[in-house]
């Protein structure tokens, strides 16, 4: 009986990013119904039907990945896509001043405008296009107006976990019912098979202990992911000790966060005791190296992470503090900065850095059973990187190239949920020129309403 496939990817160097870090050549990846259904030797896929009637003729789309790296789609474990239009809005400032004097006032005006919903939708769509173009197939996001963000992700064809941000101020305004919103939205978006919602208290300094406890309880009761910024600045850590008599991770433990499916963003100002606590509870950290460097927030203690075994993945944070959403440059910077400050060029080898945007990131969001590796039965989220540009040849080690030589512009094709959303460097779901025109429109609007 003949098998039918939606997409077949032939040739290419396949990085499975599985436990053995297998690298396959002369193999084929076959996709059907949103999933990878087979990864088999090319010889099995002959024109005249080979093993079990499998042939290239039975695929709707055949992608020739000669001179390409085929890898799991990259996962950006902490970002804020709706901040895409705030790229470069206010740079060269410390975190506290950046947030209080620029970002929060800007958000106050833009989101409360009668067109606030449209702003969120448009900005998320723009961010989604940027991440797809650079090989990212999934984001774990945190922002406001999650329904609009969800609609944008579905329209772009990007997989995502959307955290509706919770703060004391939002609670005081009665705008969010902690947990209920995520449950409602999960029901509404269930049929998309792309978007799910999490509970996302912004930080320990913007949420009271009572609100944090409610968030943890809501996440546990409804089996939702819990997503929070933690230990991003030294001030945050010191204030926590003064106010609560505990270090931030200990304080989170007190509020129930370590009993939930939790992902922490940043985790810079943590000590070994805190990391041991995270490792024991299997809780991961998404580090945002470039954003942390730009805001001078600090550099996380990588050796302590390695010694305690805390799962670490990479993220860009929002475009307002990065200022791009390209995980390739994030890999490059992360590898180099930790080598430098540890005076050890052997630290953090390239394959370990690639794990941080694939299998480690899938584990961080509790989806390692279906994402982050190329294996039969896994969801078909795949990035194909072309080695057809001057910065890509010669190639001796694909992991080295992904971290040190290539960038998001080398991504040629992207498949998400079994659908080709980037084909030969062209978005199939969105009009890139229209997106850029819309971004310029918002630039003018922001200049009109903010005293820049
Ligand atoms: Zn953030």
In 3-state terms, what secondary structure has residue 165? strand
* Lowest-confidence region among 40-54, 360-374, 388-402, 423-437: 40-54
pLDDT band at 50 (very low <50, low <70, confident <90, very high): very low
C-alpha 120/C-alpha 400 separation (Å) is 37
| 227 strand-pairing partners | 263
62 shares its domain with 97: no
C-alpha 440/C-alpha 335 separation (Å) is 34
Residue 422 Cα distances to 15, 418, 433, angstroms: 19, 12, 15
209 shares its domain with 170: yes
Measured in Å, residue 428 CA sits from the centre of ligand 1 at 29
Neighbours of 317 (CB within 10 A): 30
Q: Does the residue 446 lie in any domain?
A: no
Angle at CA 10, nearest 5°, toward 8 and 11? 165
197: closest CA among 170, 172, 176, 212? 176
Q: Does the residue 180 lie in any domain?
A: yes
- Report whether 269 contacts 205 (CB < 8 A): no
Measured in Å, residue 323 CA sits from the centre of ligand 1 at 12
Residue 210 Cα distances to 14, 78, 126, 181, angstroms: 48, 24, 36, 18
Measured in Å, residue 388 CA sits from the centre of ligand 1 at 34
C-alpha 216/C-alpha 30 separation (Å) is 40
- 221: domain CATH number is 3.20.20.140
Q: Does the residue 28 lie in any domain?
A: yes
- Report whether 131 contacts 81 (CB < 8 A): yes
Measured in Å, residue 321 CA sits from the centre of ligand 1 at 9
| 295 strand-pairing partners | none
pLDDT band at 95 (very low <50, low <70, confident <90, very high): confident
Residue 250 has pLDDT above 50, yes or no: yes
Measured in Å, residue 66 CA sits from the centre of ligand 1 at 38
Measured in Å, residue 423 CA sits from the centre of ligand 1 at 30
330 shares its domain with 406: no
User: Which string of b and e fits 167-193 if b means at least 16 CB within 10 Å?
Assistant: bbebbeeeebebbebbbebbeebeeee
C-alpha 2/C-alpha 303 separation (Å) is 52
In 3-state terms, what secondary structure has residue 389? coil
Q: What is the mean pLDDT of residues 192-202?
A: 97
Measured in Å, residue 107 CA sits from the centre of ligand 1 at 14
Angle between helices 209-222 and 180-189 (to 10 degrees): 40
Strand pairing of 13-15 and 68-72?
parallel
Measured in Å, residue 202 CA sits from the centre of ligand 1 at 8
Strand pairing of 13-15 and 23-24?
antiparallel
65 shares its domain with 81: no
Q: What is the mean pLDDT of residues 84-94?
A: 89
pLDDT of residue 4: 83
- 415: domain CATH number is 2.30.40.10
Helices within 144-271 (DSSP H only): 146-156, 168-172, 180-189, 209-222, 234-244, 248-254
Q: Does the residue 405 lie in any domain?
A: yes
Measured in Å, residue 253 CA sits from the centre of ligand 1 at 21
DSSP structure class, residue 379: B
| 138 strand-pairing partners | 75, 159
DSSP structure class, residue 73: P
Measured in Å, residue 229 CA sits from the centre of ligand 1 at 6
Domain limits for position 218: 74-364
Residue 191 has pLDDT above 60, yes or no: yes
Measured in Å, residue 26 CA sits from the centre of ligand 1 at 41
- Report whether 45 contacts 56 (CB < 8 A): yes
Q: What is the mean pLDDT of residues 283-298?
A: 95
Q: Does the residue 229 lie in any domain?
A: yes
Q: What is the mean pLDDT of residues 133-146?
A: 97
Percent of the chain with pLDDT over 90: 83
109 shares its domain with 56: no
Q: Does the residue 447 lie in any domain?
A: no
C-alpha 268/C-alpha 274 separation (Å) is 11
Residues 307-363: pLDDT tens digits?
999 999 999 999 988 999 999 999 999 999 999 999 999 999 999 999 999 999 999
If you search the block for the tokens 């204030």, which residue do you land on? 239
183 shares its domain with 200: yes
66 shares its domain with 150: no
Structure tokens given for 368: 């390692």
Q: Does the residue 437 lie in any domain?
A: no
Percent of the chain with pLDDT over 70: 95
Measured in Å, residue 318 CA sits from the centre of ligand 1 at 6
Global model pTM greater than 0.85:
yes
58 shares its domain with 89: no
360 shares its domain with 411: no
49 shares its domain with 166: no
pLDDT of residue 93: 85
**What value does the mean pLDDT of the chain take?**
93
C-alpha 165/C-alpha 230 separation (Å) is 14
- Report whether 385 contacts 406 (CB < 8 A): yes
| Residue 225: φ, ψ to 5° | -70, 145
Total domains, the chain: 2
127 shares its domain with 65: no
Q: Does the residue 406 lie in any domain?
A: yes
- The sheet carrying 13-15 orders its strands as 23-24, 13-15, 68-72, 382-386, 411-416, 419-423, 426-427
122 shares its domain with 66: no
């Amino acid at each position: 009986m003949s098998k039918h496939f939606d997409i077949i990817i032939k040739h290419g160097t396949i990085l499975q990013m599985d436990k053995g870090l297998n690298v396959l050549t002369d193999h084929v990846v076959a996709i059907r119904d949103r999933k990878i259904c087979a990864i088999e030797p090319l010889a099995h896929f002959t024109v005249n039907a080979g093993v079990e009637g499998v042939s290239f003729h039975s695929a709707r789309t055949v992608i020739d990945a000669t001179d390409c790296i085929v890898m799991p789609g990259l996962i950006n474990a902490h970002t804020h896509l709706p901040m895409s239009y705030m790229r470069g809005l206010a740079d060269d400032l410390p975190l506290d001043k950046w947030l209080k004097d620029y970002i929060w006032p800007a958000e106050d005006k833009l989101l409360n405008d009668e067109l606030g919903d449209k702003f969120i939708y448009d900005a998320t769509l723009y961010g989604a296009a940027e991440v797809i173009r650079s090989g990212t197939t999934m984001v774990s996001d945190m922002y406001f107006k999650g329904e609009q963000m969800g609609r944008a992700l579905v329209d772009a064809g990007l997989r995502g976990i959307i955290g509706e941000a919770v703060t004391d101020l939002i609670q005081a305004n009665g705008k969010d019912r902690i947990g209920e919103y995520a449950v409602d939205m999960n029901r509404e978006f269930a049929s998309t098979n792309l978007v799910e919602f999490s509970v996302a208290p912004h930080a320990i300094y913007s949420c009271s202990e009572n609100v944090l406890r409610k968030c943890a309880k809501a996440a546990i009761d409804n089996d939702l992911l819990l997503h929070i910024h933690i230990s991003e600045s030294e001030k945050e850590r010191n204030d926590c000790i003064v106010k609560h008599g505990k270090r931030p991770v200990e304080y989170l433990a007190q509020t129930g966060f370590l009993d939930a499916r939790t992902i922490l963003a940043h985790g810079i100002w943590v000590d070994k005791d805190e990391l041991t606590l995270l490792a024991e509870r299997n809780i991961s950290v998404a580090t945002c190296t470039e954003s942390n460097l730009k805001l001078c927030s600090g550099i996380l203690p990588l050796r302590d992470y390695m010694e305690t075994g805390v799962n670490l993945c990479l993220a860009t944070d929002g475009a307002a503090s990065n200022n791009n959403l390209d995980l390739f440059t994030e890999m490059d910077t992360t590898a180099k900065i930790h080598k430098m400050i540890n005076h050890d060029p052997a630290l953090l080898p390239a394959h370990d850095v690639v794990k941080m945007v694939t299998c480690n990131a899938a584990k961080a969001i509790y989806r390692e059973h279906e994402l982050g590796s190329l294996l039969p039965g896994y969801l078909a989220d795949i990035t194909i990187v072309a080695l057809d540009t001057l910065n890509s040849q010669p190639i001796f080690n694909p992991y080295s190239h992904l971290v040190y030589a290539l960038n998001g512009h080398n991504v040629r094709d992207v498949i998400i949920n079994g659908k080709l959303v980037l084909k030969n460097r062209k978005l199939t779901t969105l009009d890139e020129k229209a997106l850029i025109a819309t971004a310029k429109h918002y630039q003018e609007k922001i200049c009109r309403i903010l005293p820049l």
